[in-house]
Amino acid sequence: MSVIRVPEADAQGWSCDACGEPLVPAPVDLEYLDSRFTVELPRCAKCGFVLIPEALAMGKMLEVEKLLEDK
Amino acid sequence: MEQADLRKLEAQCVQEEPPFCTAACPLHVDARAFCSLMGQGDWDKAWAVLARTLPLPGVLSRLCHGPCMEACVRSAKGGAINIPALERFCAEQGGRAARTIPMPAKGKRVCVLGGGLAGLSAAWDLVRKGIRVVLHSERPGLDLAREGASPLPAGVLDAELERMVRLGADFQAPVAMTAESLQALLEEFDAVIVDCAEQDIEGLGLGEPDTMTLGTNMPGVFVAGQCDEHVFQAASGRKAALSAERFMQGASMVAGREREDPYPSKLFTNVDDVAEVAPEPVPEQGYDAQQARAEGLRCIRCECLECVKHCEYLARFGSYPKVYARQIYNNQSIVMGTRQANTLINSCTMCGLCEELCPGDFSMEDLCLQARRELVEQGNMPPSAHEFALRDMHFANGPDCALARHAPGEKTSTHLFFPGCQLTASRPAAVRAAYDHLRAHIPAMGIMLRCCGAPAHWAGRTREYERSMDELRSQWESLGRPAIVCACPTCQGMLQNALPAAAVVDLWQVLQGAGVPESVKGADMELTVHDPCTTRYEPEIRQQARGLLQSVGVRVREADMSGNLTECCGFGGLLAEANPELGADVAKRRADSLPGELVTYCAMCRDMLAKGGARISHVLDILFPDPSAGDLAARPAPGYSRRRENRAHLREGLLTDLWREPGDPPKPYEELAVSFTEACLATMEQRRILESDVRKTLLRARETGRRLVYAQSGRYRAVFRPVAVTYWVEFEETGDGYLVHNAWCHRMRVAGGAA
Ligand code: SF4
Ligand code: SF4
Ligand code: SF4
Ligand SMILES: [Zn+2]
């Protein structure tokens, strides 16, 4: 499955507080209703904490949620 | 919804019925479109409308005497539109219809005997369909040219005859007509049409032609032209041509022909607000361009849209209920693909105004409620549509807010005060004051704090609604089935429905009986009443609320759209949940439409119209004012978090003050010291993120140590997904607490992860 890249997922300067690791782009599986996609998102390489930035959550992600709800 | 239900619904909406003029025109010209184009001065397009329908348009447009005018609804407002005069002017502009492309010959031949307007019109229709016509007449159209005062300029008739020849009409000398010659013609031709304006049909054994088909005793022979006026002759020619065609195809002679003759349209057009304008007088030489435009503009372009005119929701989706019914039906039959009508279904305010206004009693409410129930049933209801409202309902019915007790010190209840969860959320102080006042007059007045279940009902969640009602019913029974006193008309309707055995009364009536507080009598003000849409069929509640206001000296101003015609505040049907932008627009439109300062007797209406920009009081604001709370009519509607806190605090206050019971200990997340920036609070309100959700997220981060950090600024981000929504909080630490800068949320989740 292809990995979707989203420019909204910028996480420059953020790191995982518990692990002290910077967040780095990594493929992450997202799911909603019966759909699943792989998106490249900032993630802690050590514990796997994934950041969903505001611009993504309230923008593209919201759009896709609405689309899936009408499917 | 079954196909048959859809058909029934569609038939209730008359918007697509033809306008009255078109229905009355023997040829069913689209006179509405024609008038509209004439009003714009677009003679060419107007002509195209005539030429599309009229046979021999150059001739008929000049000769028709205009029976359509008798049906024109403008008659009641100055006078019918003079369509025949408009048609004459239009024809004089030399309008050319688009060239007709000859249809491929069908190999059929029809013989027409007689060249009056009936015979010519029959031939006109047939040749345009690729059917060869031989027309026998001494001189086709002779009658028309012969008339002394004929308004037909030279050459018009000839040009149309030439056109028919080009399309395959063959004009021949008249033939003698006998029963035998007809029989012979039937052998040579596929059908025969007799125009009896030029031919005598006595003694041919044809009998009286059938009114619907013009067929005779001799199959294949049709008789047209048994009428005087030109336009009726043309129409009968058209009818004979259609019958001949069906006869040749072996098709049914009668199916679907009910509306061929003039008929009364079922359309409804409200002309109450149409100004009277007299017709443009027609000068001897006919209209000039300016007069023609003016007369065209007098046409009001009849349609119904009664419901759409008064409903922002119906208007917003760009169509009208007949079309919506089809869209909703299609929505429901989708197995794979996008259900386009979900938003349409979930945006109806279920206020019942369309049904009240509609000549056919079309109810969008019933349609949308059924559609919502079906979406829920099939598991296709978009989760984001109503989840927040349902969560709010559960909260109102949960341990933090709900209460059902006899009055303090009482063992029974004769009455039960039911303020409703929205009044409790909007102004708990009014609930408290009203309850104290009520108990002073009716000591055995118990109280029940909870939601009436309307959100579940509106959301189409039948089972959830019933569960909530069952609980309510058993509480009411355990209190000894007291009479229920409602402070919210929505609650009152819900309870009346679900508890038929209960006496349910409105608070306004009870307060009048008990007497209003002395201190508020003589309130000298004039207020416009906004009736909640849930009182549309409750004239008594409306009356009681007015009576109560008057009893304290309020002069009640009535709005145009009030009483059974009242418009919704935008909360009904959970519109404001499923479609917040539209909900806000509905509220604003209603607020703008009402004059002066307002008063209402539903807490939700009060808050919605306040958001819409109105100065508005709740009846209880006037009865139980609170000097320390400032100008109540101007107070902003509390936000979602505040509404929850208000409910919980009211319960807690009642328990400690009236029953001397200790309140519940605060929950751990409530003990965090959290403050918010102004901007963040506004963002949270818009995104429906509650302070409690933020607090839970912060607590989770504190307990697990899981958070992100931005080294340069010292800001943190934490995440928590209590149930179906993931919350993100951006904050900084402030000594012993938190300052929250931002919050956002999403429903999608990281597979197997925390977010
Ligand atoms: S003027 Fe005659 S042809 Fe024109 S719309 Fe009226 S009835 Fe029909
Ligand atoms: S007002 Fe216009 S549309 Fe209505 S009946 Fe008269 S001509 Fe027809
Ligand atoms: S009021 Fe609305 S639903 Fe009723 S006929 Fe008119 S357009 Fe149709
Ligand atoms: Zn980590």
Domain CATH for B482: 3.40.50
Mark whether B336 and B351 lie in a shared domain: yes
Dihedral class, residue A22 (left if φ above 0, else alpha if ψ from -120 to 50, else beta): beta
Mean pLDDT in residue range B668-674: 95
The confidence band for B97, taking pLDDT boundaries of 50, 70 and 90, is low
Structure tokens at B120: 């010519």
Nearest CA in chain A to B710: A14
Mean pLDDT in residue range B309-338: 93
Helices (H), B99-141: 117-128
Find the helix packing angle between B156-166 and B117-128, rounded to 10°. Answer: 40
Structure tokens at B275: 């100004």
Q: Is the CB of B231 under 6 A from ligand 1?
A: yes
Q: Residue B55 and residue B49: Cα distance in Å, rounded?
A: 12
**pLDDT of res. B357:** 96
- Angle made by CA atoms B131, B134, B139, in degrees to the nearest 5: 135
Q: Is the CB of B84 under 6 A from ligand 1?
A: yes
Structure tokens at B290: 């300016």
Dihedral class, residue B214 (left if φ above 0, else alpha if ψ from -120 to 50, else beta): left
Q: Would the pTM count as exceeding 0.90?
A: no
Q: Which residues contact B405 (CB under 8 A, 6 or more apart)?
A: B446, B447, B479, B659
pLDDT tens sequence across B238-280: 999 999 999 999 999 999 999 999 999 999 999 999 999 999 9
pLDDT tens sequence across B405-416: 999 999 999 999
CB neighbour burial string for B326-342, b if at least 16 within 10 angstroms, e if fewer: ebbbebbeeeeeebebb
Q: Find chain B residues with C-beta within 8 A of A14's C-beta.
A: 708-710, 717
Q: Find chain B residues with C-beta within 8 A of A28's C-beta.
A: 750-751, 753
DSSP element (H, E) containing B435 = helix B428-441
Mark whether B333 and B459 lie in a shared domain: no
Cβ within 8 Å, pair A70-B338: yes
Interface check for B335 against chain A (CB to CB < 8 A): the answer is no
CB atoms within 10 A of CB B180: 9
Residue nearest to atom 1 of ligand 2 (CA): B299
The beta strand positions in B85-209, using DSSP E, are 109-113, 132-136, 169-172, 191-195
The confidence band for B146, taking pLDDT boundaries of 50, 70 and 90, is low
**pLDDT of res. B322:** 97
Look at the block and give the residue holding tokens 């348009």.
B57
Q: What is the 3-state secondary structure (H, E, C) of B255-291?
A: CCCCCCCCCCCCCCCCCCCCCCCCCCCCCCCCCCHHH
**pLDDT of res. B333:** 85
SS3 at position B648: helix
Cβ within 8 Å, pair A70-B339: yes
Residue nearest to atom 5 of ligand 2 (CA): B72
Distance between start and end Cα atoms, chain B: 39
Looking at B382, B413, B431, the residue that finishes a domain is B382
**pLDDT of res. B188:** 95
Residue B581 lies in a domain: yes
Q: Residue B721 and residue B679: Cα distance in Å, rounded?
A: 23
The ipTM estimated for the assembled molecules is 0.97
Domains of chain A: 15-69 (3.10.20)
Radius of gyration (Cα) for chain A, nearest Å?
A: 13
CATH number of the domain where residue B203 is located: 3.50.50.60
Distance from CA of B707 to the nearest CA of A (A): 6
Q: A1 versus B354: which is more confidently predicted?
A: B354
Mark whether B589 and B721 lie in a shared domain: no
Expressed in angstroms and rounded, the spacing between residue B320 Cα and the centre of ligand 3 is 7
Interface check for B749 against chain A (CB to CB < 8 A): the answer is yes
Q: Is the CB of B90 under 6 A from ligand 1?
A: no
Residue B54 Cα: closest atom of ligand 1:
3
Query: What share of residues in chain B are helix, strand, coil (percent, to 5)?
Result: 50, 10, 40
pLDDT tens sequence across B479-502: 999 999 999 999 999 999 999 999
Residue B277 lies in a domain: no
Q: pLDDT exceeding 70 applies to what percent of chain B?
A: 98
Residue nearest to atom 2 of ligand 2 (CA): B299
Q: Say if residue B753's pLDDT is above 70.
A: no
DSSP state of B537: T
Mark whether B88 and B117 lie in a shared domain: no
**pLDDT of res. B335:** 79
Mark whether B354 and B413 lie in a shared domain: no
Q: Find chain B residues with C-beta within 8 A of A1's C-beta.
A: none
Which amino acid, B496? Q
Beta bridge partners, B733, equal: B738
Interface check for B697 against chain A (CB to CB < 8 A): the answer is no
Q: Write phi, then psi, for B472 (nearest 5 degrees).
A: -60, -45
Provide the number of CB pairs (under 8 Å) joining chain A to chain B.
92
Which amino acid, B450? R
Minimal Cβ distance to B706: which of A30, A49, A61:
A49
Exposed, middle or buried, B71 (CB in 10 Å: 0-12/13-18/19+)? buried
Query: What share of residues in chain A are helix, strand, coil (percent, to 5)?
Result: 25, 40, 35
Q: Is the CB of B605 under 6 A from ligand 3?
A: no
Q: Under a CB-based contact definition with an 8 Å cutoff, are residues B285 and B332 in contact?
A: no
Q: Residue B245 and residue B129: Cα distance in Å, rounded?
A: 10
Interface check for B709 against chain A (CB to CB < 8 A): the answer is yes
Q: Structurally, how many domains does chain B consist of?
A: 6
**pLDDT of res. B258:** 94
Q: Find chain A residues with C-beta within 8 A of B747's C-beta.
A: 32, 65
Distance from CA of A32 to the nearest CA of B (A): 5
Cβ within 8 Å, pair A64-B717: no
Expressed in angstroms and rounded, the spacing between residue B167 Cα and the centre of ligand 1 is 25
The confidence band for B511, taking pLDDT boundaries of 50, 70 and 90, is very high
Interface test with A, best of B336, B346, B708 (most A CBs within 10 A): B708
**pLDDT of res. B647:** 96
List the one residue out of A14, A52, A26 whose CA is nearest residue B743.
Answer: A52
Mark whether B157 and B85 lie in a shared domain: no
Mark whether B205 and B322 lie in a shared domain: no
Interface check for B687 against chain A (CB to CB < 8 A): the answer is yes
Mark whether B316 and B430 lie in a shared domain: no
B405: containing domain: 388-514+639-654
**pLDDT of res. B96:** 66
Q: Say if residue B754's pLDDT is above 60.
A: no
**pLDDT of res. B243:** 98
**pLDDT of res. B424:** 97
Interface residues on A facing B, Cβ-Cβ cutoff 8 A: 13-18, 23, 28-33, 36, 47-52, 54, 57-58, 61-62, 64-67, 69-71
List the one residue out of B733, B725, B734, B739 whose CA is nearest residue B709.
Answer: B733
**pLDDT of res. B261:** 96
The confidence band for B154, taking pLDDT boundaries of 50, 70 and 90, is confident
Looking at B298, B325, B357, the residue that finishes a domain is B298
Find the helix packing angle between B31-39 and B83-92, rounded to 10°. Answer: 60
**pLDDT of res. B426:** 97
Radius of gyration (Cα) for chain B, nearest Å?
A: 36
Average pLDDT, chain B: 94
Expressed in angstroms and rounded, the spacing between residue B351 Cα and the centre of ligand 3 is 15
pLDDT tens sequence across A16-34: 999 999 999 999 999 999 8
List the one residue out of B602, B574, B567, B603 whose CA is nearest residue B588.
Answer: B567
Q: Say if residue B35's pLDDT is above 90.
A: yes
Q: Residue B51 and residue B91: Cα distance in Å, rounded?
A: 10
Mean pLDDT in residue range B427-434: 96
Mark whether B184 and B35 lie in a shared domain: no
Strand order in the sheet with B191-195: B169-172, B132-136, B109-113, B191-195, B221-224
CA B533 to the chain's CA centroid: 15
CA A4 to the chain's CA centroid: 10
Mean pLDDT in residue range B140-162: 78
Mean pLDDT in residue range B378-394: 94
Residue nearest to atom 2 of ligand 1 (CA): B66
Interface check for B706 against chain A (CB to CB < 8 A): the answer is yes
Mark whether B433 and B394 lie in a shared domain: yes
Distance between start and end Cα atoms, chain A: 21
Residue B442 lies in a domain: yes
The pairing of beta strand B221-224 with beta strand B132-136: unpaired
Residue B667 lies in a domain: no
Q: Under a CB-based contact definition with an 8 Å cutoff, are residues B523 and B339 in contact?
A: no
Residue B630 lies in a domain: no
Q: pLDDT exceeding 90 applies to what percent of chain B?
A: 88
Distances (CA, A) of A26 to A4, A5, A49, B669: 11, 10, 11, 33
Question: Can you spell out the DSSP letters for B328-357?
Answer: HHHHHH-SSS--TTHHHHHT-----HHHHH
Q: Under a CB-based contact definition with an 8 Å cutoff, are residues B306 and B359 in contact?
A: yes
CB neighbour burial string for B44-63, b if at least 16 within 10 angstroms, e if fewer: eebbbbbbebbbbbbbbbbb
Residue B76 lies in a domain: yes
Interface test with B, best of A49, A64, A65 (most B CBs within 10 A): A49
Look at the block and give the residue holding tokens 């320390």.
B628
Q: Residue B489 and residue B542: Cα distance in Å, rounded?
A: 9
Mark whether B649 and B700 lie in a shared domain: no
Mark whether B117 and B237 lie in a shared domain: yes
The pairing of beta strand B715-720 with beta strand B708-710: antiparallel
**pLDDT of res. A2:** 78
